[in-house]
Each structure stands twice: as structure tokens, then as C-alpha cells.
Structure 1
Amino acid sequence: MTARRKTFLGVAAMVMALGGCALASEPPAPEVGAQGSATPAAATPAAESALHDLLPERIRSAGVIRVASNIPYPPWEMYTTAGGQQPTGIDYDLSQALAAKLGVKASFDQTAFDSMIPAVMAGKADIVMAGIFDTPKRRESLSFVDYAKDGYSLLVAKGNPLGMKDVTDLSGKTVAVQSSTSEEAAIGKLSKRFESQGKEGVTALAFPGDSEAFLAIKSGKAVARVQATSAAAYAAKTFENGNAFELVDAPSITEEFGGGMEGIGVPKSDTELLTALQKALQALMDDGTYLKILSKYGVENIALTKAEINQGTD
């Protein structure tokens, strides 16, 4: 990944019990300004009345778009300090910019990963922004405004002690995944295929969040973490100042785990909000705000130039 920020607030120390594991660290957040809020990627975009008028009446009246997200998943969402409450990350910054362009505010609410879509469908949140992939399965409930194109990689211990090179090296290994994600299901399919070929399968060790999955690699309970390349590269660059993990990036990994479009999830029935977000995102792309946000986290290589709907594949 390119154009990484060279200075950070520091590494957020975190102690977690995982079968007697040692200390682990979360990736540091970007610099924090004097008032304790995340350093902005760009000036707050000016509201556009024409875009504001596209919003559903309930959101115009409330003045807030409620965003369900799952923290931490750096660089998409995280907290500025260990144990803090101030979110930062791609999704947080972009949600604030979209809301500003639409002339409203955006709340950014911590939600368990497997509860985000149910929360939106139950009316407890308006949208999902959590670096999630736009897939046909998810489009049974949601429509997506696509805002990044990402692949998949393996995150392994620094030095790659097992010499892993591609997806075939996962045979007979234990891999850390986040529960209820597409990669958890894909590991199951890969394991069955290996077994049908007379090879050893793959054991998926599922955790509710990234911190536990990363700790499993450090403790030796798992040999790798299957993860979107943007998140894996950020972790490799920032955990313990880059001394904990490294990236294994090969075309076969993306082909196996189905990298593609990541999108903002909106209930299928809420076409007004979907259209408003699409047009607001395009406005941010056109004025440079969108690219500045991605560049802030060193992931401008996943940028799109056009805000489209439901372009993800399985």
C-alpha cells in the first residue's frame, strides 16, 4: 500500500485472554487533533440543497442518518485511542462527509457484525458502513452504493515462518476469521474442495472481532487471517510498528474469497435514501473529498471514480 501516514498517536495496547496468550496491539489510529477528534481528511463539504431534498422526509426531519458499523476494523473503522469513544477511519470520515453534503448529521453506532443488517431492517439504523462486500446474498435485504473495490490477502506472522505463498498453502492449516463473514463461509467451501481432492481440509477459527483474530496469529493458534487486502495491509503496516505481521498477496487468494465491491448498505425499499447517497458520494468523488479520505489511510488504490449501485459479484 502507498502513501502511509508517517506519524501516529501511538500503538494502542490491548490485553486479551485467549488461552493464555501474550499481549497484542491494535493498529494505531491516525493523528489526533488538539481537541481530541480525528484529524480531518479534508474541509467539511458544503451542503447542497438539491441533494438534501432527495432525502426521505423522516431523515430530513430528524436531521440525522444513523450508521451501523462494527468497530474496530481498521482502517475502515476504529477508535482514536485505546478504550476511547471517538471513532475514526474510512467509513467514519466518509459518513460525516456524506452527511455534510446532504445537509444533515451522521451518528456512527457500534453494532455487532452479525447484527448490523438486522438493525437496519428493523429500523434501528438507516444504513450500514463497515467495509462490507456487496454480494448477491446481502442484496436479498439491502441495496448497495459501491464505494471501493478490494481484494483478499492472507495476514501471517512477520517473516512468514511457514513460507505461505497462495491459497493452496492453507491445506491442513487453522485460519482465523471473523464470525458471520463471507470469508468464514468461503473457508468451509475451500476445505471441502481440498478434502474431495484427497488433501487435508482447512480449520476456521472464528472470532467476533479482528483483535481476537490477530491475537490468534500471534499466539500460534492460527497460521493466518483471511481478510480484505485493505485491512490486512493496514494491520501489517501498523501493528507493533510493522513488526508483528506481513501480507501474503496472490491472485489465487482473491479468486478464492471473492474480493470485489464494498458498499454502503441501504434497505432495498428505501430508494430515496439510496439515490441521495449515490448522488452525494458522486459529488464527493468529483470535488476530491472522497480520494482525500482514502489517501489519509493509504488505500487510494481501492478508489472508484463513479458511484454505482449493486455492482458487486459473489
Structure 2
Amino acid sequence: MKRSMLPVALAAIVLTSGSAAFAASCSPKVPDTELIKPGTLTMSTNPTLPPLQFVDSSGDLKGMRIEMGTEIAKRLCLDPEYIRIEFSAMIPGLQGRRWDMINTGIFFTEERAKIMQMVPYEEQAISISVAPDSSVKIASKDDLAGKTLGVEIGGFEENKARQLDKELQGAGKAGVTVRTFDNFTLAFQALRAGQVDGVVTIDAVAKEYDTRGDFKRVLSGLYPASVAVAFQSPKLADAVASVMNDMKADGSMKALFDKYGLNVPAAAYAVKGPGR
């Protein structure tokens, strides 16, 4: 079974780092009062987006965002802990203090920044993927008129798929039918089974699948926007932003992004959220 097709459990799964405890070698830079578990940075992720976050054939979490989160925890002298959960539960879980940090590539929006602290750190855009043997010619958004598109429920991608539907109908064309799934693994499984015409996901993921030959990327660069990590605690958000700026200054952020074909934004990382 390919790593991208590994099933994702609907219930939360806690995964801790396999390395030695970071907190044992230095003093935590965030007080326990700002954490749900003393000495631990608890992060939520939905690992269905290779190469940024996924589960490999051994069941281990891998990807750019996992590496970044682990390094952030290390520099804060905290132990990294990941809770694997569907995207739709991310914001309610953060508000309910089930985790300290959303580390799943959540897109930044002004509406989200009204209810939580966000640190934009990565630029992404939307792609459309089709089956590898598809003969349908899709060269522009107009060519999606009348198609059925699969997408993970509750995220930026679903919002943009519905925006695309409105744009097409506003231009007098047939819209798109949007089918939502609990996660992107299920959306791509539906595409493989011929249940949808395409899947709406982010550029990095669609490129990865295209490179592997799993699915063909036909459109990319749609609706560009910033991706962020998110928090309830302002103090924790400030501490993470400071660490991320240190990583940018010493070149480790660029090295990580280069490894995955991403660009580091020129501006300093800054927290945006209530009271900012």
C-alpha cells in the first residue's frame, strides 16, 4: 500500500517523538500554565498531505511540517507530541484545549485571526488533480464547468471550490458539484474509483502525486494565500514566532523549505490574532 493511501482514523491518535526528551536537557521557554501538558508542545495534524505531512509505511509521521514542529519544540525545550485528527476538529479542539498548536497547514484568513492567534509562515495555492489516465482536457477554470470535485471538508480548499462554483455560474456556465470527504486520503481514493472528476488540494500535494504518477495535476496556482500555525495562547504564539524567526536567521528554515521545494517568505514571522 502506498503511503498516501494509508487510512486515517477518525478518532485522535497521539504520537510522540521517537527521540530523547528535549526538555530534559534545558529549561522550557514557555511556562506550563500556557500548555495543556507540562513540558510538552502538543500539536494537531492531519497527515494526509504528502510530502508536507503524512504517515509512512511504518506508521511514522513524516513531512516538512512535522520536522518544523519538532524543531520548534526542541528550541523551546519542550517535548513534541502530535495528535492525529481530521481537519474539521482542529479549531474546536484548539478552543477546547485539546492541543496547544494547530500544525497542519491551516490557511490564514482574517476571520480565523479573530478567534485564534496565527503565525503565517508559508505560501500555498490551490491545484486540481485528475486520474492519471484521464483524457479530459482542463487548461483553465472554465474547463471545470459541470465537473464533480472532491475536497476535504471544512477547509480553505472547500471554500475555494465553492467560490469556483459561484464564479462559473456567475459567468453563465455550469457550476461544479462539490463533494466533501473527511480527509484528502478519502478524496483521492474517490478520484481513483471514478467517483469524482477531480480533487481540489494544495500545490505541493498535487505536485507530489503528479511526480509519483499517482494523479495528474492539471491546474495549479489558484487562489494563492498564506498558511499558518495557530494557537489559543498569545504567549505561546509569541514564543513560537520568535523561534521561527531564529530559524530563518540561522538558515535552518530555508534548508528545510528547500528540501521540500518551498520558498521562505521575506517578511519576518509575526503573530496575527485577537488583541494584535
One fold, TM greater than 0.5? yes
2: distance between equivalents of 1:73 and 1:194?
A: 28
Task: Supply the RMSD in Å over aligned alpha carbons.
Answer: 2.7
Q: Which among 202, 208, 212 is matched to residue 228 of structure 1?
A: 202
Point out where structure 1 has 5 or more consecutive residues left out of the alignment. Answer: 1-9, 17-35, 39-43
| Displacement of 1:14 | 4.7
Could you say which residue in structure 1 is the equivalent of 2:176?
Answer: 202
Q: Deviations over 1:97-129 (max 9, x none)?
A: 001111111101112211111111111111101
Alignment length (residue pairs): 258
Q: For residues 209 and 122 of structure 1, what CA distance do their matches in structure 2 show?
A: 21
- The answer to whether 1:260 aligns with 2:225 is yes
Q: Which runs of 4+ in 1 moved over 6 A?
A: none
Which secondary structure state, in structure 2, belongs to the residue aligned with residue 232 of structure 1?
A: helix
Which residue is equivalent to 1:66?
42
SS at match of 1:151: strand
Cα offset, 1:265, TM superposition: 0.5
Question: For residue 58 of structure 1, what is the amino acid of its counterpart?
Answer: T
| Match in the other structure for 1:247 | 217
Q: CA deviation at 1:148?
A: 0.7
Deviates more, 1:214-223 or 1:273-282: 214-223
Report percent identity of matched pairs. 21
Instruction: Name the structure 1 match of 2:271.
Output: 309
- Find the residue that maps to 1:217 and give its secondary structure: helix
Picking from 176, 180, 183, the partner of 2:150 is: 176
CA contact (8 A) 2:153 2:180 kept: yes
Q: Which runs of 5+ in 2 are unaligned?
A: 8-16
Match of 1:192 among 166, 171, 195: 166
Cα deviation, 1:43-91, whole Å, max 9, x if unaligned, reads x9xx887xx54x2442588111110111222222111226x2x211111
With normalisation by structure 1, the TM-score equals 0.74
Distance 1:261 1:288, change over 3 A: same
Q: Tell me if structure 2 keeps the 8 A contact 1:143–1:274.
A: yes
Q: SS of the residue aligned with 1:150? A: strand
Query: What's the secondary structure of 2:217's corresponding residue?
Result: strand
Within 5 Å, give how 1:1-314 maps onto structure 2.
Answer: 11-12=2-3, 14=5, 52-53=28-29, 55-59=30-34, 62-81=38-57, 84=59, 86-158=60-132, 160-237=134-211, 242-251=212-221, 254=222, 258-267=223-232, 270-296=233-259, 298-300=260-262, 302-305=263-266, 306-310=268-272
Does structure 2 retain, via aligned residues, the 8 Å contact 1:183–1:227?
A: yes
The answer to whether the 8 Å contact 2:145/2:176 transfers is yes
Does the 8 Å contact 1:48/1:101 carry over to 2? no
Higher strand share: 2
Q: Residues 8-67 of structure 1, C-alpha deviation per residue, up to 9 Å, x if partnerless?
A: xx9438588xxxxxxxxxxxxxxxxxxx979xxxxx9xx887xx54x2442588111110
* Segment drifting more, 278-287 vs 155-164: 155-164
Hey, what's the Cα distance between the residues in 1 that align with 2:132 and 2:229?
Answer: 33
Contact 2:165/2:175 (CA < 8 Å) preserved in 1? yes
Q: Which amino acid aligns with 1:62?
A: P
Output the TM-score relative to the length of structure 2. 0.83
Aligned-pair distance for 1:304?
A: 2.2
1:164 aligned partner, one-letter code: I
CA distance in 2, matches of 1:78, 1:198: 40
